[in-house]
Amino acid sequence: MPSRLSQWRDYLQYEKALSRHTLRAYESDVHHFLDFLMAHLGKPPGLDDLSAVSIRDFRSWLSRKAMDGLSNASRARSLSGVKNFLSWLDKQGILHNAAVSVVRTPKLAHKLPKPILEKQAFELLDMAGADNDWQALRDKALFTLLYGAGLRIDEALSLNIGDLAASRDFLIVTGKGRKQRQVPILAIVKSTIDNYLAARPFDSGPDMPLFIGARGGRLHQGVAQRSMRQIRVSLGLPETATPHALRHSFATHLLENGANLREIQELLGHASLSTTQRYTEINAKELLAIYKKAHPRA
């Protein structure tokens, strides 16, 4: 079992190129499932035991996770991790489990992205650089990039200076599954990045991280989130105003101003158009709210 787990992990890391967060979650989920089987069987489970796991066993495991307080989304992800492992074992000709394909994924709530208003986005970006020291200029550059280019926070923090084109007209961004895309950069984004780079006290070679912390290492996501939280509190913005909300705001405001879904999909790096279509639901809800508020017979 340990050798098969190690081979599966290599497959996820090097062939599927999963993010480190997904990889860690999948490993944790599979180990939790194996621990559950060990308690159920009274011994460490082997490959034959995995092959014999019944639909009742899977349901018992998911029920245990529900009793431990895990949400439907967490249980769905756990089941996905276990299914992935068993599917890989099946494709390798190691074992086959007939029951796992019958297990229903816990129903997920339909959640819409939560963007902030254009006015709120501008206020947030203005306050981010208010102190005018290099770290404030860094936060302003980071948040302006997230809102101006629609990057995920981990995509932005993974950038090196060399990922900037010499002209500063576009960025080379590595997204999920290590897929690269070119993202056009607005003049205001270029300006805030240049101001930050001119002020930062550390080396600016092409292999250096674009966004750095106080000691010169790559900026940690928690530091960016803390900076956003401080600004959010000062402006009285909702708790949904996070770095990732700037990406949602980028897409929503583009859609409101006439961009089509295919263009937004490409800019965001979505593999499926259905993911991008969530933003049309936000627009539809806002349109209905305005209609009901404004129409004399509403």
Q: Catalytic positions, please?
A: 152, 176, 244, 247, 270, 279
Range 250-257, long-range pairs (CB < 8 A, 24+ positions): 250/146, 250/147, 250/148, 250/149, 250/150, 251/113, 251/115, 251/150, 251/276, 251/279, 252/113, 252/115, 252/279, 252/282, 252/283, 253/115, 253/118, 253/121, 254/150, 255/279, 255/280, 255/283, 256/283
One-letter amino acid identity for 69? G
Please identify which residue in the block is written with the tokens 């394909």: 101
Pairing of strands 180-184, 170-174: antiparallel
For 258: left if phi > 0, alpha if psi spans -120 to 50, otherwise beta; the answer is left
What are the tokens at 198? Answer: 């001119």
Distances (CA, A) of 130 to 13, 38, 64, 134: 41, 56, 50, 11
